[in-house]
């Protein structure tokens, strides 16, 4: 009998706490599949964030730590610098990484820390009830931008990969999307390159994954995925922004 | 034995070096020693002073509030420390940069035209060592030889060539002190 | 043990920490303790150990947190405003049961304050600072020799109890020089990665998760009980203090750190005049020598607490004395260090009324 589909080995048996239709499960699966395929599970430590994936360590069964809000890249730095043989991932949302943790993220990238950042961007603060994030689209209504995000008041959506790609010590920087099967296959390819950048000791790697938040967007899962294609991807284009020499 | 001295002047006059040298010499002599620096906010050219204590017993406070001895390299430092001096305290003054008389008449005062002497010895940067030589010879917290030994730790590599002139400065200071003691 | 070296207090901290087996430093520059990171930056690479200047104190303490989660002997050093920024990390570290050492060379506050010596972070260090019910072990050396020795104890205690140890000094101790005899280098080859460390599961039969999060109140209460149990053991076993001329004392000065050193001079001044004054110097500020002070209250006419703040340890002294004897206070603020003469004069004001 041929196995056509199975649970990746690092995924635990615990049911996730994510909302129906939330793409965090997809992002978790991509991470877990690659850990298994690249035989990295036993040397991996994942730094989990504050946000919807705060309990991520219940769902991916590696060694794990739980960072303070935004500090994942600093914590990962402390672990990787003292234990370079560990494979260190941070898994962060857009509030955690792009807002409160932007300084820690940028400086980890500036130093070329040999860590991999999985950056899941759903355009709002999911866990706390859908407040405005730095990545919220212009005109998008959230609980703290009830009249729609007004650039005169709060500026424009923040493009993290484009910013980080300008830094010399970054090894691999890309943006993928979790809205469709092709995009998910592409996301996995990007993430594999990011993992490789760390395995080969080249430098800092980050993959942004455009995600949806059906609950706070007040949409069905299918409609939320459509919104990604129609509204989000035009603002946050998919692509590789930095591929340093030696990254495969 | 417990000897306490404040060394004070402009930053760049070698105030801290003189203090550290004295402290190092005290350590070489197996004494208890504390060195406490105090700087103005400027990185260069501001006032600087340090408290050095050398003792046979463990030292309690490293701070000297009322000095029994002070080596003073400039006028602002004399203005600052003269009023706090203990009765019969020793003031070793760099007269070249202090255009006034000491106001109190209950202190022992040695006035040294140290800039001129330094020039004669061929190096204007040794004013601190001339005055240190005076202080050590009068108060004897450590021997002159210990200071000379300690100097080797500070003047190393391309600074080693300055050892002879600094030793000469210490000796010149000792001479001045002997004269002062003889006159008394 | 061996030769004495004349060294700046800030450099003594770094040298002693390295000898005690500190494998990593993360920090951010701030006066008056910059000589500490500078010394580490020169020496750590030679030893093949980690030195990293972080982007901020917030980043620095979270790097420490990360390294601590791997069971590595790790340190950060800072001064008051920088320590304020680190409080978030301290709280997480406390509820994660990971060991680390933090040095605070206290300066005048609040706010940007000044760069002169102060002791106004006592409350912050001893009573928490960060959120939640937690303690760190707080050690306050008063000479550079004691500082050199206690750095070893700081790392040992941190590892023994998996707790943060704060070494609380002030700018004066950082800047002064004194001959110091260092203990021998700890053999770091003997260090083993602890069973609880998060370095990848590898051959372990279980995976490790280090988190300060427990969303169920009953679970979080359990975590808190665990911490409180640990604190009780520390309070029982690790109280340290020094008494000076206390056997026949009728009065006692209570003081820590730099001011305790000055207080020793005050005790000697009083003794020269036939006044039976002694000194009680807490070396651990947490756990505090409560029982000792409680006991001494019986023999003393009054306590006289002196600090470089508006009366912070004073509260712990008063709690220990529990109203049985008067506790007077003299403090200087904003970075001013009083002379022994100042303190003695203040002390004598109370003795007049007493006689």
CATH number for the domain spanning C28: value is 3.40.50.970
Residue C214 lies in a domain: no
Residue A168 lies in a domain: yes
Residues of B in contact with C178 (CB under 8 A): 33-35, 62
Report how far Cα A145 is from the mean position of its chain's Cα atoms: 24
DSSP symbol at A167:
S
The answer to whether C207 faces chain A, any CB pair under 8 Å, is yes
Domain extent, residue C10, equals: 4-200+225-237
Residue C216 lies in a domain: no
The confidence score (pLDDT) of residue C353 equals 61
Give C257→chain A minimum CA distance, Å: 31
The confidence score (pLDDT) of residue C1 equals 45
- Which among C277, C282, C321 has a CA at the least distance from the CA of C298? C321
Mean pLDDT across chain A: 97
The HSE-up count of residue B180 (CA atoms within 13 Å, CB side) is 23
Domain extent, residue A213, equals: 24-243
Task: Note whether C40 and C185 are same-domain residues.
Answer: yes
- Give the model confidence (pLDDT) of A59-96 as tens digits: 999 999 999 999 999 999 999 999 999 999 999 999 99
Number of residues in chain B: 184
Task: Note whether C251 and C305 are same-domain residues.
Answer: yes
- Which among A209, A210, A230, A227 has a CA at the least distance from the CA of A218? A227
How big is chain B by its Cα radius of gyration, in Å?
15
User: What are φ and ψ of residue C317, in 5° steps?
Assistant: -65, -45
**CATH number for the domain harbouring residue C261:** 3.40.50.920
The answer to whether A62 faces chain C, any CB pair under 8 Å, is yes
Task: Note whether C268 and C189 are same-domain residues.
Answer: no
Q: Give the pTM.
A: 0.95
Give A229→chain C minimum CA distance, Å: 35
How big is chain A by its Cα radius of gyration, in Å?
17
Would you tell me which residues 85-124 of chain A have a C-beta closer than 8 angstroms to some C-beta of chain C? 85-87, 103-104, 106-107, 110-111
- Give the model confidence (pLDDT) of C162-199 as tens digits: 999 999 999 899 999 999 999 999 999 999 999 999 99
Judged by CB atoms closer than 8 Å, whether chains meet at C67 and A78 is answered as yes
pLDDT band at C2 (very low <50, low <70, confident <90, very high): low
The answer to whether A36 faces chain C, any CB pair under 8 Å, is no
Interface ipTM: 0.95
Residues of B in contact with C179 (CB under 8 A): 27, 32-33
Residue labelled with tokens 């350590």: B27
Structure tokens at C344: 């003695």
DSSP string of B49-78? EEEEEEESS--S----SS-SEEEE-SHHHH
Structure tokens at C55: 């982007």
Task: Note whether C173 and C268 are same-domain residues.
Answer: no
User: What are φ and ψ of residue B179, in 5° steps?
Assistant: -60, -45
Question: By the 8 A CB rule, do A83 and C66 touch?
Answer: no
Alpha-carbon distance of C93 to C164, in angstroms, equals 7
Domain extent, residue B168, equals: 2-183
Q: How many domains does chain B have?
A: 1
Task: Note whether C95 and C180 are same-domain residues.
Answer: yes
- Give the model confidence (pLDDT) of C230-272 as tens digits: 999 999 999 999 999 999 999 999 999 999 999 999 999 999 9
**CATH number for the domain harbouring residue B176:** 3.40.920.10
User: What are φ and ψ of residue A7, in 5° steps?
Assistant: -75, 130
Task: Note whether C24 and C120 are same-domain residues.
Answer: yes
Task: Note whether C169 and C280 are same-domain residues.
Answer: no
Task: Note whether C10 and C119 are same-domain residues.
Answer: yes
Closest CB to B60: pick one of C176, C262, C342: C262
Task: Note whether C112 and C150 are same-domain residues.
Answer: yes
Residue A184 lies in a domain: yes
Closest CB to B62: pick one of C4, C261, C341: C261
- Which among C308, C74, C39, C49 has a CA at the least distance from the CA of C172? C308
Residue C207 lies in a domain: no
Task: Note whether C183 and C82 are same-domain residues.
Answer: yes
Please name the residue ranges forming H helices in chain C: 9-19, 35-43, 57-69, 80-85, 87-94, 122-126, 144-161, 171-175, 217-237, 257-272, 290-296, 313-321, 340-354
Please list the pLDDT of chain B residue by residue as tens digits (184 residues): 999 999 999 988 999 999 999 999 999 999 999 999 986 544 555 679 999 999 999 998 999 989 999 999 999 999 999 999 999 999 999 999 999 999 999 999 999 999 999 999 999 999 999 999 999 999 999 999 999 999 999 999 999 999 999 999 999 999 999 999 986 5
Question: By the 8 A CB rule, do C271 and C244 touch?
Answer: no
Mutate to test the interface with A, among C207, C208, C214, C215 (most CBs of A within 10 A): C207
**CATH number for the domain harbouring residue A144:** 3.40.50.970
Q: How many domains does chain C have?
A: 2
């Amino acid at each position: 009998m041929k196995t056509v589909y199975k649970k990746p080995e690092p995924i635990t048996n615990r049911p996730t706490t994510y909302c129906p239709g939330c793409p965090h499960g997809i992002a978790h699966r991509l991470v877990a599949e690659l850990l298994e395929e690249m035989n990295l599970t036993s040397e991996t430590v994942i730094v989990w964030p504050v946000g919807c994936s705060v309990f991520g360590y219940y769902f991916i069964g590696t060694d794990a730590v739980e960072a303070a809000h935004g500090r994942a890249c600093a914590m990962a730095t402390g672990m990787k610098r003292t234990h370079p043989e560990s494979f260190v991932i941070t898994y962060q949302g857009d509030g955690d990484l792009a807002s409160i943790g932007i300084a820690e993220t940028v400086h980890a990238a500036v130093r070329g820390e040999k860590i991999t950042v999985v950056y899941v961007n759903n355009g709002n603060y999911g866990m706390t009830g859908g407040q405005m994030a730095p990545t919220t689209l212009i005109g998008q209504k959230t609980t703290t931008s009830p009249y729609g995000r007004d650039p005169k008041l709060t500026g424009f959506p923040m493009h993290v990969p484009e910013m980080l790609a300008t830094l010399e010590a970054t090894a691999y920087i890309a943006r993928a999307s979790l809205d469709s099967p092709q995009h998910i296959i592409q996301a996995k390819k990007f993430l594999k390159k990011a993992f490789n950048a760390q395995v080969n000791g080249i430098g800092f790697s980050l993959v942004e994954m455009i995600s949806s938040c059906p609950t706070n967007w007040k949409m069905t899962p299918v409609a939320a995925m459509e919104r990604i294609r129609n509204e989000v991807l035009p603002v946050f284009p998919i692509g590789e922004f930095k591929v340093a020499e030696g990254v495969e | 034995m417990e000897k306490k001295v404040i060394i004070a002047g402009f930053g760049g006059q070698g105030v801290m070096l003189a203090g550290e040298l004295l402290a190092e010499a005290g350590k070489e002599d197996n004494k208890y020693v504390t060195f406490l620096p105090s700087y103005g906010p400027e990185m260069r050219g501001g006032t600087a002073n340090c408290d050095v204590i050398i003792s046979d017993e463990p030292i309690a406070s490293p701070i000297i509030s009322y000095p029994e001895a002070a080596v003073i390299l400039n006028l602002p430092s004399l203005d600052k420390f003269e009023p706090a001096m203990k009765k019969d305290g020793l003031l070793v003054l760099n007269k070249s940069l202090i255009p006034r008389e000491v106001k109190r008449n209950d202190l022992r005062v040695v006035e040294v035209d140290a800039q001129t002497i330094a020039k004669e010895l061929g190096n204007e940067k040794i004013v601190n060592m001339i005055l240190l030589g005076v202080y050590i010879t009068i108060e004897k917290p450590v021997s002159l030889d210990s200071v000379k030994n300690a100097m080797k730790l500070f003047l190393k590599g391309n600074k080693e060539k300055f050892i002879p002139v600094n030793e000469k400065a210490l000796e010149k200071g000792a001479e001045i002190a002997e004269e002062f003691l003889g006159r008394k | 043990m061996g030769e004495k070296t004349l060294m700046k207090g800030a450099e003594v901290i770094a040298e002693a920490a390295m000898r005690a087996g500190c494998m990593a430093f993360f920090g951010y520059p701030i006066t008056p303790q910059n000589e500490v990171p500078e010394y580490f930056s020169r020496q750590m690479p030679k030893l093949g150990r980690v030195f990293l200047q972080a982007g901020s104190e917030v980043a620095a303490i979270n790097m420490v947190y990360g390294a601590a989660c791997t069971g590595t002997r790790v340190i950060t050093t800072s001064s008051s405003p920088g320590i304020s920024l680190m409080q978030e990390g301290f709280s997480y570290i406390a509820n994660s049961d990971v060991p680390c050492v933090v040095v605070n060379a206290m300066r005048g506050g609040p706010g940007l304050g000044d760069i002169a010596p102060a002791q106004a972070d006592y409350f912050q260090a001893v009573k928490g600072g960060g959120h939640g019910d937690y303690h760190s072990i707080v050690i306050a050396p008063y000479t550079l020799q004691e500082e050199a020795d206690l750095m070893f104890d700081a790392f040992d205690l941190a590892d023994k109890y998996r707790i943060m140890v704060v070494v609380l000094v002030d700018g004066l101790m950082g800047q002064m020089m004194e001959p110091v005899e260092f203990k021998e280098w700890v053999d770091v080859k003997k260090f083993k990665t602890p069973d609880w460390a998060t370095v990848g599961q590898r051959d372990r039969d279980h995976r490790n998760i280090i988190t300060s999060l427990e969303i169920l109140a009953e679970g979080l209460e359990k975590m808190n009980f665990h911490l409180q149990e640990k604190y009780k053991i520390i309070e029982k076993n690790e109280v340290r203090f020094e008494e000076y001329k206390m056997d026949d004392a009728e009065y006692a000065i209570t003081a820590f750190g730099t001011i305790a050193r000055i207080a020793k001079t005050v005790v000697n001044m009083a003794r020269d005049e036939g006044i039976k004054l002694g000194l009680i110097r807490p070396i651990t500020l947490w756990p505090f020598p409560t029982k000792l002070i409680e006991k001494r209250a019986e023999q003393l006419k009054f306590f006289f607490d002196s600090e470089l703040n508006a009366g912070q340890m004073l509260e712990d002294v008063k709690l220990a004395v529990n109203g049985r004897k008067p506790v007077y206070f003299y403090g200087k603020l904003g970075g001013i260090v009083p002379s022994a003469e100042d303190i003695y004069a203040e002390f004598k004001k109370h003795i007049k009324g007493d006689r």
